[in-house]
Every structure is written in C-alpha cells, then in structure tokens.
C-alpha cells in the first residue's frame, strides 16, 4: 500500500454503489450509523445500464416510506396484473383480485438515480469511479477496504463491518476463501435478446408468452418507449439482427387467433442477456456480509433480482442497526439464514417461471406438451394463479 494512504474510520464500509449499496447507506445514515460507499463505475454509466423494471410493493414502500423519493409513484406505473400467453391465447392474472397486491413498472436505473440523489441530498459519503479496490482483514474486528479515488488519492477504510453489494462480478464474494463458501449454480441453454424501441405500448400490461418458437416478454417503459425480450442462444450476436428481423421474431412468438399485433417502432438498443441461477452460502464471512447480486443471481423471468437485493438490505440494515443500538450480534448472526430463506424461494420461483415459459431446442413432444399442461394447470386454477401472483408481487417483508 502507498505510504500516503488516508485512513477513514467508520462503522460500515459498503462496496458497490448500485441500488443495494445505496439503499443500505441511506437507511444506516438515517439511524446515525456511519458508513461509506465505494463504486468503481461512474454515475452516468450506472444510470445508463438497462436492467429489469418491475418493483414489488415492498420495494416501492422502501423507497417511499424511508424518504428516498416518491417519484416511483408519480413516474412509475402501477400494474395490477400480467398476461400469461400460450397456444396464442392470453390469460390475465389479476393480482389485486388474487392476492390484493400490485407491482410497479419503474426501471432499476431510475431507482439508482433516486437513491444517488437522496444520498447526495443527505450528505452521504459515496465515492464513484474508484479503482484498485480491495477488501482485507475480513476475519478480524477491523475489516478494511482499500481503494484509489477518482483523483488518484489512496484510502484505507477501517470499519466494523464490510458489506459486499458489488454485484455478481464483484470483489467481495471472491474474497471469501473457496473452502469457506459453497457455490450453488445452474446455467441455462438460452439467453434473452432485449430491445428498447420507440413505440407506443402494445398492450396495457406485461405479456409473458410461451410459444413453440421460444419465450417472449412484452414489457414497457413509458408511453413512448417499450422494452421487449425474446429467448435466444447465449452466443447470439445482437448486432447481427435488423429491426425487421427482430420484430418478425417477436411477433411470431405472440401470434394467435386473437390477431394480437405488436406496435412496431425504431429499435435504439439491442443486447443479449445471458442468465444463470446462483447462490453463495453462507452470505457471510467473518465481518463481511454479502447483499444482492454479490451473493445470488436469478434469471430475469420472475423479475426478482432487484427486489431480492432490497429485501436483503432490509434484513441486513435491521441487523446492523440492532447491533449498534443494543450491542447484540444476534440479528447479524442470523442474517445469512434469514436472507437465504427468501433467496431460495425466489430461486425456485425464477427457475419455475423460466422452465415453464422457455422452449428448449431439443425438446421432445412429450416435454412440449407437458409444459402446455403445466401452463394450462396454472391458468385454469385460482390456486395456481395465486401462487404465481403471490411470488411475483413479493412475499411480505419480515
Ligand atoms: C423489464 O421490463 O425489463 C422486465 C420486466 C419483467 C421481467 C423482466 C424484465 O420479468
């Protein structure tokens, strides 16, 4: 380490300035628990990173009830249901009727913008564009983070607790010795081709479509911009597709006797999103705690990624707050088990939605028809619909 390193002493050092890290910082600061957030990307890069767009009611409440911002309620859109579409026929699931909840369409980058603005407004210590970050001494009472800030100054953070909220490719999970963690994961033989298009919405709510040509999701962003995805090969080259080819592929997957037709427009963003399911166990090593994608990833089909990250943060915040207000580490000791209970429910839901809606290339006629039987079973049963609706809108926060 450079001799000129400046020491920063604080309670909690947070690696990662995405929604999970910023939300934790916001909640801790409100309770007077000192913290610092470091993030290797710059504000603009995160703001322009397109991720999923569905917030559970519990996630919305975390933003509005803790004073982050109410913009989610004015700029976001409440959705009271989705369409499950298979064999070319749509089946609406009415979330309000089924479980008395809704979700909000509000893109993850807007959540980031709101949280970053709230941290700035409240004088939070958030350092973007840091380099050479490193976490160390995790098994001691003074875990540390080293980094170089955007001006080239070296720092060493001395904390009581380090939180890894640095995403699936971050440094924190890798800092846990391989023999001290178990990596649970599966890969899927497909990915999503995602687009943003300048067009009006094609339908009032999201459509999750299963077809013999593969899965498609018709999502939205605003009155003028729409988000859509279709199942593709993980090695697909997004640049190799013309707008017309993309629209034809999407349309093929939603075609049906009702004549439903997508509203087309110019496509201004194309990307391939590979996906896998992963859980690190436990979500703790010494005084390092993992939250969000740093500890687990889900395929996007169930729209659970960001919601799960915020649910982790809620549990972790309460544990840290309790540690500082009572001196008892009990809740911190329970963090990993408590968070993992929800994580595994969400893993199952995301896996289930993914396998029920996607089509495997080598699918036998038995498997194709079994999946249609499964979809029909869910769509025709109030209990089946309720299971999906409860998981989609989000299990209650503890
Ligand atoms: C999105 O709008 O980006 C989106 C919505 C629902 C999902 C995944 C992604 O399940």
Indicate if 109 and 247 belong to the same structural domain: no
Flag whether pLDDT at 353 surpasses 60: yes
Flag whether pLDDT at 398 surpasses 80: no
* Annotation says 9 is catalytic: no
Mean pLDDT in residue range 390-395: 97
Does residue 43 lie within any of the structural domains?
A: yes
Flag whether pLDDT at 2 surpasses 60: no
What is the pLDDT at residue 210?
A: 98
Q: What is the pLDDT of residues 296-314, one digit of tens each?
A: 999 999 999 999 999 999 9
- Radius of gyration of the chain measured on its C-alpha atoms: 22
HEC profile of 358-379: CCCCCCCHHHHHHHHHHHHHHH
Contact 135, 144 (CB under 8 A): yes
- Which residue has the CA at smallest separation from atom 7 of ligand 1? 303
Using alpha carbons only, give the angle 104, 108, 112 rounded to the nearest 5 degrees: 120
Find the 300 Cα to ligand 1 centroid distance in Å: 7
Tokens 């989610």 map to which residue? Answer: 72
Flag whether pLDDT at 350 surpasses 90: yes
Nearest CA-CA partner of 72 in 349, 302, 307: 307
What is the pLDDT at residue 374?
A: 98
Residue 162: CATH number of its domain: 3.50.50.60
* Annotation says 392 is catalytic: yes
Indicate if 59 and 170 belong to the same structural domain: yes
* Annotation says 383 is catalytic: no
Mean pLDDT in residue range 257-261: 98
What is the pLDDT at residue 156?
A: 98
Indicate if 379 and 263 belong to the same structural domain: yes
Which of 49, 50, 51, 54 should be mutated for ligand 1, with most atoms under 8 A from CB? 54
Strand 126-127 to 35-38 pairing: parallel
Catalytic residue among 77, 144, 173, 304: 304
Which of 49, 51, 53, 352 should be mutated for ligand 1, with most atoms under 8 A from CB? 53
Residue 246: CATH number of its domain: 3.30.9.10
Find the 208 Cα to ligand 1 centroid distance in Å: 10
Indicate if 330 and 386 belong to the same structural domain: no
Q: What is the Cα–Cα distance from 356 to 57, expressed in whole angstroms?
A: 25
Indicate if 265 and 283 belong to the same structural domain: no
Q: What is the number of domains present in the chain?
A: 2
Indicate if 240 and 289 belong to the same structural domain: no
Averaged pLDDT score across all residues of the chain: 96
Indicate if 194 and 152 belong to the same structural domain: no
Flag whether pLDDT at 1 surpasses 80: no
User: Domain range spanning residue 237?
Assistant: 186-275+358-393
Please report which confidence band the pLDDT of residue 191 belongs to, taking 50, 70 and 90 as the band edges: very high
Flag whether pLDDT at 189 surpasses 90: yes
Does residue 35 lie within any of the structural domains?
A: yes
Find the 32 Cα to ligand 1 centroid distance in Å: 35
Indicate if 256 and 153 belong to the same structural domain: no
Does residue 172 lie within any of the structural domains?
A: yes
Contact 298, 276 (CB under 8 A): no
Catalytic residue among 106, 208, 229, 278: 208
Indicate if 287 and 307 belong to the same structural domain: yes
Using alpha carbons only, give the angle 120, 125, 129 rounded to the nearest 5 degrees: 90
Mean pLDDT in residue range 10-20: 98
Find the 51 Cα to ligand 1 centroid distance in Å: 8
Using alpha carbons only, give the angle 294, 296, 301 rounded to the nearest 5 degrees: 125
The conformation of residue 67, written as its DSSP 8-state character, comes to T
Using alpha carbons only, give the angle 110, 39, 225 rounded to the nearest 5 degrees: 20
What does pTM read for this prediction? 0.97
Q: What is the pLDDT of residues 99-154, one digit of tens each?
A: 999 999 999 999 999 999 999 999 999 999 999 999 999 999 999 999 999 999 99
- Nearest ligand 1 atom to the CA of 353 is 10
Indicate if 54 and 24 belong to the same structural domain: yes
- Nearest ligand 1 atom to the CA of 219 is 2
Flag whether pLDDT at 14 surpasses 80: yes
Indicate if 109 and 24 belong to the same structural domain: yes
Output the CA–CA distances (angstroms, integers) from residue 394 to 58, 140, 306, 373, in the order listed.
Answer: 7, 36, 12, 25
What DSSP assignment string belongs to 259-270? ---PPP--EEEE
Q: What is the pLDDT of residues 355-386, one digit of tens each?
A: 999 999 899 999 999 999 999 999 999 999 99
Q: Which residues pair with 225 in a beta bridge?
A: 198
Mean pLDDT in residue range 145-170: 97
Indicate if 54 and 145 belong to the same structural domain: yes
Please report which confidence band the pLDDT of residue 51 belongs to, taking 50, 70 and 90 as the band edges: confident
Q: What is the pLDDT of residues 64-94, one digit of tens each?
A: 999 999 999 999 999 999 999 999 999 999 9
Q: Which two tokens stand for residue 59?
A: 């996630």
Flag whether pLDDT at 3 surpasses 80: no
* Annotation says 79 is catalytic: yes
Sign of the C-alpha dihedral, residues 19, 20, 21, 24? Answer: positive
Pocket of ligand 1 from Cβ distances under 6 Å: 52-54, 206, 217, 219, 227, 300-301, 303
């Amino acid at each position: 380490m450079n001799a000129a390193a400046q020491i920063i002493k604080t309670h909690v050092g947070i690696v990662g300035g995405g929604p999970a890290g910023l939300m934790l910082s916001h909640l801790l600061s409100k309770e007077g628990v000192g913290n610092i957030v470091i993030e290797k990307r710059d504000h603009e890069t995160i703001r322009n990173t397109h991720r999923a767009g569905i917030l559970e009611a519990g996630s919305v409440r975390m933003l509005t009830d803790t004073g982050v911002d109410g913009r989610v309620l004015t700029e976001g859109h409440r959705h009271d249901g989705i369409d499950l579409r298979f064999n070319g026929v749509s089946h609406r699931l009415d979330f309000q009727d089924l479980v008395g909840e809704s979700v909000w369409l509000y893109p993850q980058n807007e959540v980031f913008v709101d949280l970053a603005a709230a941290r700035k407004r409240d004088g939070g210590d958030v350092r973007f564009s840091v380099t050479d970050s490193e976490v160390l001494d995790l098994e001691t009472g003074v875990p540390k983070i080293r980094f170089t800030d955007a001006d080239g100054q070296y720092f060493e953070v001395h904390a009581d607790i380090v939180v890894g909220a640095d995403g699936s490719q971050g440094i924190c999970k890798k800092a846990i010795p391989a023999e001290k963690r178990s990596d649970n994961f599966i890969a899927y033989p497909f990915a999503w081709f995602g687009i943003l298009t300048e067009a009006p919405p094609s339908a009032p709510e999201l459509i999750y479509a299963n077809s013999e040509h593969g899965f498609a999701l018709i999502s939205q962003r605003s009155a003028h911009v729409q988000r859509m995805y279709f199942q593709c090969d993980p090695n697909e080259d997004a640049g190799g597709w013309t707008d017309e080819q993309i629209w034809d592929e999407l349309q093929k997957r939603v075609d049906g006797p009702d004549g439903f037709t997508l509203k087309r427009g110019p496509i201004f963003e194309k990307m391939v999103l590979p996906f896998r399911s992963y859980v690190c166990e436990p979500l703790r090593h010494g005084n390092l705690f993992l939250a969000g994608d740093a500890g687990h990833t889900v395929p996007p089909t169930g729209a659970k990624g960001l919601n799960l990250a915020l649910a982790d943060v809620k549990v972790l915040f309460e544990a840290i707050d309790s540690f500082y207000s009572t001196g008892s580490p009990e809740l911190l000791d329970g963090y990993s088990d408590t968070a993992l209970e929800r994580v595994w429910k969400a893993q199952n839901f995301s896996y289930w939605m993914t396998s029920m809606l996607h089509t495997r290339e080598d699918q036998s006629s038995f498997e194709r028809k079994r999946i249609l039987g499964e979809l029909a079973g869910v769509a025709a049963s109030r209990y089946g619909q309720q299971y999906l609706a409860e998981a989609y809108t989000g299990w209650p926060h503890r």
